[in-house]
Structure 1
Amino acid sequence: MRKLGVVWVLVWCLFAGQAQAQSAKAIIATGGIGGVYYYYGTQIAEILTKANALPATAIQTAASVDNMLLIRDKTEPDKKTYFLATVLPDTAYFTVTGKHEKFAEKPVKATILWMMYPNYLHLVTTAQSGIKSLADLKDKRVSTGAPGSGTEFTALNILKAAGIDPEKFKKWEKLGAKESDEALANGTLDAYFWSGGLPTGSIVELANTLKRKGLDLALVPLPSTDPGVAAFMNEFKGLVDPQVVKKEVYSLSDDVPTLAFWNMFVAPESLPEDLAYTVTKTVFENLETLHASVKPSKDTTAENTARFIGTTAIPFHPGAVRYFKEKGLVK
């Protein structure tokens, strides 16, 4: 009789967990169309929905900063509506600690579910523009990314570190990935910043468009020896690494030094532990689907995430940690 009672308790817990997942819903904040965030987040929503783990919808946003605002201001635990999001690590750190101006009075309470893939800072131009370094951006027509995006946050901070005032550009634009590509291809822009995975599909398409116009795609080198880059790296210690974009990625003439950041998939602290566990488990049990749909996601692996647990300035969600412990990757 006692054993029967235990069985009933276990069954009740199982159905209670399923009921909770069925009544809750997730909205996944991504980025602009053309960027990896958008396609990554859309695929995560499809995986969760098709597996009946949690009804999820992906939405287009201006990316990182906007996404953290949505987690802070639009998550409604009482209505079981939770915003999950893709975000750059520097943006996540500044918004969680209140160092970002929009979060100074009310930092976002967010946690990490898993690490996505390294984001590479692209300073996109043409070989014919004459732009060879950060310093060459002065008196040029430049876009620093969509307002409220992680790209904008990174671009403005690296320009500040280099002592470059965007107000003094010949023309200062604030465009998303797709709009920046079009402006560069149409000759109304000299260069633009973009932070994304390798390869970023819209930049691959841009390279082809430029070729048809007799132009060549180029990325401006951002080596750690550049004074502006060095100052930026010092400001964001532990959040940025010097990396290289191989010439084969975008059919460039040479490998290009740049900076890389590990993207994070984050959730509000208020996301129940069982739901955080279910979301994480479902995604990592369907990695083949994700990898086949989004090339940069090849770096989304349990092993890559496990090595960050316990080392990041932003904590991991207990539900996510539980999954990686079950896999034997975390003690």
Structure 2
Amino acid sequence: MTSRGPDRRRVVGGVLGAAALALAGCSAPSDPVRRLRLATGPPGGPYHAFGQALAQAVAAAGSGLEITPVSTAASVDNLRELSEGAVDLALSMADTAEDAALGHASFAHPVAVTALARIYVNYTHLLVPADGPVRSVDGLAGRPVAAGAVGSGVQVVAERILRAAGLGEGPAAVREQRLGLAESARALQAGAVDALFWSGGVPTPALAELARALPVRVLALDGHVGALRALHGPVYTAVTLPAGVYGLTEPVATVGVGNYLLARAGLPSSAVREVLRVVYGHWGDLLREVTAGARLEPRFAISTGRVPLHPGAVAYYRSVYG
């Protein structure tokens, strides 16, 4: 343990120093914000569970802060709400957050978004009925596929994977259905779609419930990680869904992407530091219903790519880790 300390201090110090310089002009007003609105996601999904747990933990901490979770379609919606000042905090997949910070894809202009932490990794799920004819991504050509709700991060990653697989356009294109998590599960069970995409923690409760009613197969997606990284950068990684979840008899390799807890750039630093104190004090409770076995460690939490850390987050990490 002793030998890891200097390495962690160097990593944290270097990243935080860069973040502080990047945001030197974005320092927040000193007046504390007592009521914060947090854009989460649809009921039944991991963002919704995390938001509810964080609101309860903040209330129990007696800090004077109050967090109100706001249900949304998730990542893209959340960043638009953040850019418009409708919310103070938001959850987002890393790829969408970087698009917002850079003014790419769904965002015509850069969004003044900052990060508090990278909190956990999403696993991309591509589910089909176990007794159905589809056994690989190529087998989806021309078929109806639930590919995420409008305004969701699932929509973003699903479209990118389908393009990488040659199924995004032309005669082989799948017929993308814009459905949220609960609607997607119902549609797959009813046979209205032949596959569903989801990006979330493991296991996602709504999908675990689906798998109990309808035996499913999870299609491997790791073969597309290289193409995604070449086009969109290192926000995408190869991860593995473990055997046992959703009735799987063996592990399945897929695409992973981080999730960020974000804040508007003008949020007072005092509020950010208090939120982070609660997050690190209760991370086990916050992640229990989100993804099994996850840990929140600062050396990974500060790895927010092209999304700069909020000055209040910089101050918090420095105060705790030097």
1:316 corresponds in structure 2 to 309
Structure 2: distance between partners of 1:180 and 1:167: 24
Change (3 A) 1:39 1:295: closer
Which structure has the greater CA radius of gyration?
Answer: 1
Deviation of 1:251 (Å): 1.7
Q: Residues 112 and 264 of structure 2 are in contact (CA less than 8 Å); yes or no, is this contact kept in structure 1?
A: yes
Change (3 A) 1:166 1:198: farther
Structure 1 unaligned residues grouped into runs of 5+:
1-18, 76-81, 211-215
**CA deviation vs aligned residue, 1:240-293 (integer Å, no higher than 9, x gap):** 1111111212221321110111111110111111111111112212234324x4
Structure 2: distance between partners of 1:147 and 1:167: 22
Change (3 A) 1:170 1:295: closer
1:183 and 2:187 correspond: yes
Deviation of 1:93 (Å): 0.3
Change (3 A) 1:322 1:159: same
2:47 corresponds in structure 1 to 37
1:110 corresponds in structure 2 to 113
1:52 to 54, 62, 68: 62
The one-letter amino acid paired with 2:204 is T
**CA deviation vs aligned residue, 1:94-150 (integer Å, no higher than 9, x gap):** 11100123x22x321111111111100111111222222222111212011000100
2:80 to 53, 69, 88: 69
1:299 corresponds in structure 2 to 294
The one-letter amino acid paired with 2:90 is A
CA RMSD, aligned part only?
Answer: 2.1
Change (3 A) 1:310 1:177: closer
1:25 corresponds in structure 2 to 35
Change (3 A) 1:249 1:233: same
The one-letter amino acid paired with 2:61 is A
Deviation of 1:32 (Å): 1.2
The one-letter amino acid paired with 1:107 is P
Q: Residues 44 and 206 of structure 2 are in contact (CA less than 8 Å); yes or no, is this contact kept in structure 1?
A: yes
Change (3 A) 1:239 1:288: closer
Change (3 A) 1:167 1:200: farther
1:59-138 paired onto structure 2 within 5 Å: 59-75=70-86, 82-101=87-106, 103-104=107-108, 106-138=109-141
2:168 corresponds in structure 1 to 165
**CA deviation vs aligned residue, 1:164-183 (integer Å, no higher than 9, x gap):** 13686574311011111111
Identity of aligned residues (%): 33
2:320 to 303, 319, 327: 327
What secondary structure does 2:122 align onto? Answer: strand
Q: Residues 199 and 249 of structure 1 are in contact (CA less than 8 Å); yes or no, is this contact kept in structure 2?
A: yes
Structure 1: distance between partners of 2:292 and 2:51: 11
Q: Higher relative contact order at CA 8 Å, sep ≥6: structure 1 or structure 2?
A: 2
1:218 corresponds in structure 2 to 217
What secondary structure does 1:296 align onto? Answer: coil
Q: Residues 55 and 67 of structure 2 are in contact (CA less than 8 Å); yes or no, is this contact kept in structure 1?
A: yes
The one-letter amino acid paired with 2:299 is A
Change (3 A) 1:25 1:284: same
Q: Residues 225 and 236 of structure 2 are in contact (CA less than 8 Å); yes or no, is this contact kept in structure 1?
A: no
1:10 corresponds in structure 2 to none
1:79 corresponds in structure 2 to none
1:235 and 2:231 correspond: yes
Q: Residues 144 and 155 of structure 1 are in contact (CA less than 8 Å); yes or no, is this contact kept in structure 2?
A: yes
Q: Residues 273 and 313 of structure 2 are in contact (CA less than 8 Å); yes or no, is this contact kept in structure 1?
A: yes
How many residue pairs get matched?
291
Structure 1: distance between partners of 2:99 and 2:179: 22
Q: Residues 94 and 100 of structure 1 are in contact (CA less than 8 Å); yes or no, is this contact kept in structure 2?
A: yes
Deviation of 1:238 (Å): 1.2
Structure 2 unaligned residues grouped into runs of 5+:
1-29
2:265 corresponds in structure 1 to 269
1:11 corresponds in structure 2 to none
Q: TM-score, normalised by structure 1?
A: 0.82
Structure 1: distance between partners of 2:56 and 2:310: 22
**CA deviation vs aligned residue, 1:158-197 (integer Å, no higher than 9, x gap):** 1122221368657431101111111111111110110001
